[in-house]
Amino acid sequence: MGRNKFIIIMSVSALMFLTGFVIYSVTSDAPEKNSYYVKGSVSASTVSPSAIKYEINTETNTYNSSTIEYDDNIINEDMVNMEENLPTGIPWTPATEMDLEPSSITVFINKEYGLPKDYVPYKLVEPNIPFDIPHYEERKLLHPEASVAIENLFAAAEKDGYVLYGISGYRSYKRQHNIFIDNIVKKGKKHTLRYSAVPGTSEHQTGLAMDVSSKSLRYKLTTAFSTSPEGKWLADNAHHYGYIIRYPKDKADITGYAYEPWHIRYVGKDLATYLYQNDLTLEEYYNYIPSEEFNFEEEYSDLINYTPTPTPTPTPTPLPEDLDEAEEDLEGEETSEEELSENDDTNISEDEEPNEDNISNDGESNDDITDHESSDGGTIDDNDNTKTTEDESETEENLPIDDIGANNFKEDNEDDMNNPGVTPTPTP
């Protein structure tokens, strides 16, 4: 009896051992579960080469990776969102040095620290906000992060009953240059340097700045915006969305620019709130002091002292009829003073100058004036013989005055003889 009991116990033990071995063999291929384990995927370290299936697209000859190849490439969306929302545990602290990296959202740009001429943000997008123009233009673009922030800013303003409009965002170096030179020429150096940045020193080139206005101001950029309902709301709430009024009132001596309530700059919520609460500009935040070797007037002398090249006034080309009249005037000028006078019995040579009284102010001779008007507005008698016509024969021009008079008297008497009852009148 004791021997049978021993056999039964051994049999049960062996059965239990085999059962445990089978269970262990079945479960040993499953990965150990941890906080990074995602159901439906396996760790790359537990996958044998034969377990990986390579799918080749025969049409495009491209490789399609297996959905279970790497677990760190298959991250649960809920886990990502959860990790982003977790507090980092690192509180925000003010910067200890100046940020001069062009692509940084906290970059410091002013008259001394500018941007390269060829700098363009790696990506620019058009925010979904109201603009003063319906069509596409470069000035509608912004840095992607600044674009999202301004959409939230404008939406919050509209929710509170205020409609803001974007006027000018990104501004390329070329456009900065055109605007600056235009202001120098039209508004002068003093005004331009108070409101317009020298090319390469504008925050607009970073894609982080936007000029804002309202419909009530007809979309103009004016200091009156600060007293408008929209301007007041913007000044009080911009920092909640990462924006600051970049050039505030009464700080022109610090920023180098006059008060611009319309110019907002994106710096992120933390820095924007810090600057707003402490009433600081970026110059004060970064403890900016102009370098001793920096001379603004010398650095940008060619731009700020720009003088446009005067355009010469073209000489009008005379029309063909004007040329004919000019030739007639020259012929008329050859007539001597003596030939125009009844009382002078002396001949003049062809070398003497023509009488200036026979030329009107506009350069035309009196021959062009009507028969009944003189050059000074008086009336010319129809019987005046002082005007010599071009029809006079060459013979008469070469005869002495007395011979010309005698010849005229003979012709007059012959005419009178043909008209009975008319007494011939002698020529003086």
Confidence tier at 367 by pLDDT (50, 70, 90): very low
- Pick the catalytic residue from 260, 325, 337, 338: 260
Mean pLDDT of 163-167: 98
Q: Tell me: the pLDDT tens digits for 217-232? A: 999 999 999 999 999 9
What pLDDT band is residue 316 in, cutting at 50, 70 and 90? confident
Angle at 30 between CA 25 and CA 34, to 5 degrees: 135
Residue 86: CA atoms inside 13 Å, Cβ hemisphere, count? 8
Burial of 197 per CB tally in 10 Å (0-12, 13-18, 19+):
buried
pTM assigned to the model: 0.55
In the beta sheet, which residues pair with residue 165?
Answer: 213
- Residue 372 CA neighbour count, 13 Å, CB half: 0
Q: Which residues contact 54 (CB under 8 A, 6 or more apart)?
A: 63, 66
pLDDT digits (tens, 9 = 90+) for 84-142: 444 455 788 999 999 999 999 999 999 999 999 999 999 999 999 999 999 999 999 99
The alpha-helical segments, DSSP class H, found in 28-85 are 77-85
Residue 408 has pLDDT above 50, yes or no: no
Q: For 138-304, which CATH class?
A: alpha beta
What's the CA gap between 105 and 107, in Å, rounded?
Answer: 6
Per-residue pLDDT at 318: 63
Conformation bin of residue 333: beta by default, left when phi > 0, alpha when psi is -120 to 50: alpha
Ordered DSSP codes for 78-100: HHHHHHHHS--S------SS---
Lowest mean pLDDT among 60-74, 275-289, 298-312, 317-331: 60-74
What pLDDT is stored for residue 343 in this prediction? 45
Does 365 have pLDDT greater than 90? Answer: no
Does the active-site annotation cover 298? no
